[in-house]
Each structure stands twice: as structure tokens, then as C-alpha cells.
Chain A
Amino acid sequence: MLKLENVQSGYGNKLAIKEVSLEINEGEIITLIGANGAGKSTTLMTICGVVACRAGSVKFQEREIHKMAPDEIVKLGICQVPEGRHIFPQLTVKENLDMGAFLRNDTEEIKKDRDYVYSLFPILAERRHQDGGNLSGGEQQMLAMSRALMARPKLLLLDEPSMGLAPLVIKQIFEIIKQINKESNTTIFLVEQNANQALHIADRGYVMETGRITLSGPAQELLANTDIQKAYLGI
């Protein structure tokens, strides 16, 4: 579904991604793990067209997308929940959700999808008229994911959904990620520092170090790999 081949990108004259190749098939949950500054977020931003791809190619459903504008990429069905959630602080919860459906015009279906995300996260329904900026961290993460779902993505990119959240909330978020993957057959690309949790729900995983993919394989294999256990799982 999504294929990155020898992708290079970065900011200014610094390359954050030196060489990344990876492939995601439809219906999978794929995780990308790695330390701070490895280039994980930049990889997502490059897929979304926010950071320019300097070499290599990004293909989505057999189409080259690395020269397309970010809004065109969203139209194709790739949505990202960025690190730090980026809720619109002065829009209400409902307005935030509607922004997720910005490119859609089917009012009735949008309403259905809104009810669906309210059923996933009942707390959002309760707070629908509150400003997004007043929600707690966990609620903001739920809102950010719901907002992305409102676009009916084919591929959902999640950047550190567990960051700064309480363990119980993290567990809930990961449950929902699995549920989204199953119920609406959304392919998920999950970037995480919380390698243990991520590998437990993923089908396959990639490990990234200083701008390169250094290891990849089925999630169970990675969990059993002693190097990974030492470096990322703290075992």
C-alpha cells in the first residue's frame, strides 16, 4: 500500500533521514521504533509531504506521492496524528472533529462518523462543546485520533500516541488502535518510543537509528531479539 524507497529528507542543510526503505501492506499495523532523534517523526512528515523528500520515492497505492502537496496527500487517504497532538486550542471538540473532515462534503456521513468516534471515546461526546485547549493530555490524544478518523483515512499515521500519558490511558489508546484497525480496516503506521507496547499490537516492525532502518521483521521476532531487548525494551 505504502512503499518508501531510499528516501532522504531533512531540515535546512541537515539530513534527518539518510536512507529509509519500508513497505506497508493493506490492513497491517506496522510500527517504527527508535530512540529520540532517530528520524521517526521526520519519516512521517516526509510521507505527508510536509517535509520535502530529497531523494528516493514514496509510493501510495502504486502512485508516486513524494512531489504532491500535503493537502493532496490527505485527499488520497493518508492522515497523520502528529507528535504532541496539535489540537486546535480555541476550537471546540466538535469543531476540531469537523476540521478533520475538512475535505469531505457528505454532511450525513460526517455526522455518522462523528457518532462513531463518540462511541469509541464517550468522554469526547461529554466535552463536545469545550475548547480543545482545555482538555487533559489523554483526552487530547483521543481527540487527535478521532479527528484523523473523521477523514476516513486508508492509512493512519500515529506519532507517539502514548507520549506523556498515564499507563492506564496508554493501555486504552492501544486497545482503540487495534479496534480501529479491525473495525474499519484502516492500515496503521505507528511510530513509538514505547517499543514494548507497540510491538505487542503490531504485525511487523522497523527499527530506526540515526536516519536509517537497521532492522526489520515480524513483531514477535523483534520482541525476542536480544539486541532490541537491551536497547529498547529495557530487559
Chain B
Amino acid sequence: MDYFIELFFSGLTRGSIYALIALGYTMVYGIIGLINFAHGEIYMIGAFTAFIVATVLSIYGFPLFSIVIIAGLAAVVWSSSYGYTIEKIAYKPLRHAPRLSPLISAIGMSIFLQNYVLLAQTSDFLPFPTLIPDWEFMEPIAHIVGTTDLAILVTTVMVMVLLTVVIKFTKIGKAMRATAQDRMMATLVGINVNNVISATFIVGSALAAIGGLLIASHIGQINFYIGFIAGIKAFTAAVLGGIGSIPGAVLGSFVLGLTESFATGYVSSDYEDVFAFSLLVLILIFKPSGLLGKATNQKV
């Protein structure tokens, strides 16, 4: 039973990270109908920023807690500015182009960012400092749930609650929902759609950066390529849940995380991806719009 619970929590942890990234995919898709393939790289850049800031701060002997906060903030700000800039450079000029053009631009952006970090930093795996120490009160259950697992879960839940509040109740959140549902009409009620799109990229990137910081301190190492794999997985999760749907992305991420975790634990870690993508194929066969996705139909 302990083993089952352990796998369950490790699945939730994976799912949390996927969710933080998948939200960026699904929100951007909801607003402009684009799969932002460079989103995984935003997450990777977040992890690198956190790495650099944390390393520097620990040299100066800052207390651990303040390192986590400052590194997290730096990652969020830096990643968000990347997300914002990518949209302005690579997607905005192509807004009225055929759908394939911005998609290819996104893939190009992804390759560019990977190689840029490869050149500017290193191709080696970098050891990520331990930002979250093992808490003592976790000792009795440490063999089932690690401290970082718990930290990731709690952080993710807090971020999700915050995001829900922003989207439901704030002006920019309402503007986002309206723009996602009918962009032309959003323009006609006086919403500046360009600002909404920028805000969406900023929010999505901030979430990915938080994910980057959390997973890097969990796994303990990073390199320039981590964004690709995490990006593909999170994208899978977003499609699984129904791309464009925010609750769908979260649900899809947890389903995917748990599936992988149990597949690894009970079958073999070699089959982790096989199960993940088989699940995707199955769901797309029986419910093409994803778990919570809505079949698109237009009322005229």
C-alpha cells in the first residue's frame, strides 16, 4: 500500500509540473489558436535563470528561504519578458497569415532558444542547488512523500487558485475569456486585444518559470534540452484535457502524470512514454476534443 501511495504522490508531482506548463499552451491556444512550440523553452529559461540567481546568491551566503523567493521572482520576470518578446517578434507579424506560418515560426523560435542557451551557457548538465531542504516534520512519511514533492504540490495548488481568481474576477481575466470566445466582438466592446494577448503570454510564461524552478530543484540538474521533453509532455497533457480549456489542462496533466507514475512503478520505466502516448491516442480516438474540450460548433 505504501508503494501505491508513493507512486500516487510522485504522479501528482509530475502532474503539477505538467500542469504549470500545459496552462501556458492551453491559454495561448485559447486566445490566438496557436500551439506555442517555444513554450517549453520558456520553462527551460526559467530553470536557468533560477539556477544562475540561486548560485550567485548562495555564494553571498543568503538564507535559503530568501534564495528561493528571489530566484523564483527572477525566473518569473525573466521568462515572462521572453514570452512577451517572442510573441511580439515571432507571432504578432503573422497574425493574419495562414495558420501554418506562426506554427513554423514557433518551431523556429524553439530551436533558436535551445541553441542560444546552449551557446550562452553550456551543453553539460548543471547541478541545481538544493533549494528546498528536507523538513523535519516530514520525517515519518519521507519514504512516501518527499519534501520537494509536497512543496511542488502546495505551490501548484496555490498558483492554480490564484490563476482562477485572476481569470474569474479581474478585468484582465474577463477580457481574456471574452477574447478567447470571440475576438472580433472583444474588440468591439473596447478590449485592446493586443494587450490581452501579451498578458496571456506573460501569465503563461510566469507559470512555466515557476514549473522550471520547482522541477529543477526536485531533479537536481538542468540542461538546455529539458524544455523540449517537458514541453512535449505538457502539450500532450493539454491536448488530453482538451486544448483551449484551462480546467482541461490541469486534469489532463494529472491524468498523464499519474499514468506515467504507475506505469513506471508497476511495469517498467522503459514503458513510461509508451503508456503516456497510448493514453493520448485512446482518448483522441474516443473523445477527439479531449476530456473537457468542447466540440466546436458555430451558431449563426
Contact = CB atoms under 8 A, between A and B. Distances in A.
Interface of A: 48, 50, 69-71, 74-75, 79-80, 82, 84, 86-91, 95, 98-100, 102-103, 133, 147, 151, 164
Interface string B137-155: 0000000000000000000
B298 to A, nearest CB: 9
Contacts of A71: 187, 190-192
A151 B190 contact: yes
B181 A80 contact: no
Interface of B: 171, 174-175, 177-178, 181-182, 184-192, 299-300
Contacts of A70: 187-188, 190
Contacts of A88: 177-178, 181-182, 185
A98 B174 contact: yes
The 3 A-B pairs at the shortest CB distance, nearest first, are namely A74-B190, A86-B185, A103-B190
A212 to B, nearest CB: 25
19 contacts: A48-B187, A50-B187, A70-B188, A71-B191, A79-B188, A80-B188, A82-B184, A82-B188, A86-B188, A87-B182, A88-B177, A89-B181, A91-B177, A99-B186, A102-B178, A102-B189, A103-B189, A133-B299, A151-B189
A228 B177 CA distance: 44
A74 B177 contact: no
Contact of A90 (B177, B185, B186, B192): B177
Contacts of B185: 82, 86-88
Contacts of B187: 48, 50, 70-71
B182 A86 contact: yes
Q: For the complex, would chain A's binding face be called helix, strand, loop or mixed by DSSP majority?
A: loop
Nearest to B299: A133
A108 to B, nearest CB: 17
Nearest to A81: B188
A69 B194 CA distance: 11
A89 B185 CA distance: 11
Nearest to A74: B190
A142 to B, nearest CB: 15
Nearest to A48: B188
Given A71-B190, A71-B192, 13 more contacts: A50-B188, A82-B188, A86-B184, A87-B182, A88-B185, A89-B181, A91-B181, A102-B171, A102-B178, A102-B189, A103-B190, A147-B189, A164-B300
A89 B190 contact: no
Contacts of A133: 299
A99 B196 CA distance: 14
A149 B181 CA distance: 21
B139 to A, nearest CB: 47
Nearest to A88: B181
A48 B191 CA distance: 13
A100 B300 contact: no
Contact of B190 (A82, A84, A102): A102
B231 to A, nearest CB: 28
Contacts of B177: 88, 90-91
Nearest to A150: B189
Contacts of B182: 86-89
B175 A89 contact: no
A102 to B, nearest CB: 5
A50 B188 CA distance: 8
Residue from B174, B185, B190, B300 whose CB has the most chain A CB atoms within 10 Å: B190
Contacts of A89: 181-182, 299
Nearest to A11: B96
A44 to B, nearest CB: 10
Contacts of B178: 88, 91, 99, 102
A80 B299 CA distance: 19
A79 B189 CA distance: 7
A147 B299 CA distance: 19
Contacts of B299: 89, 133
A75 B191 CA distance: 10
B93 to A, nearest CB: 16
A74 B188 contact: yes
A136 B145 CA distance: 52
Contacts of A102: 171, 174-175, 178, 189-191
Contacts of A50: 184, 187-188
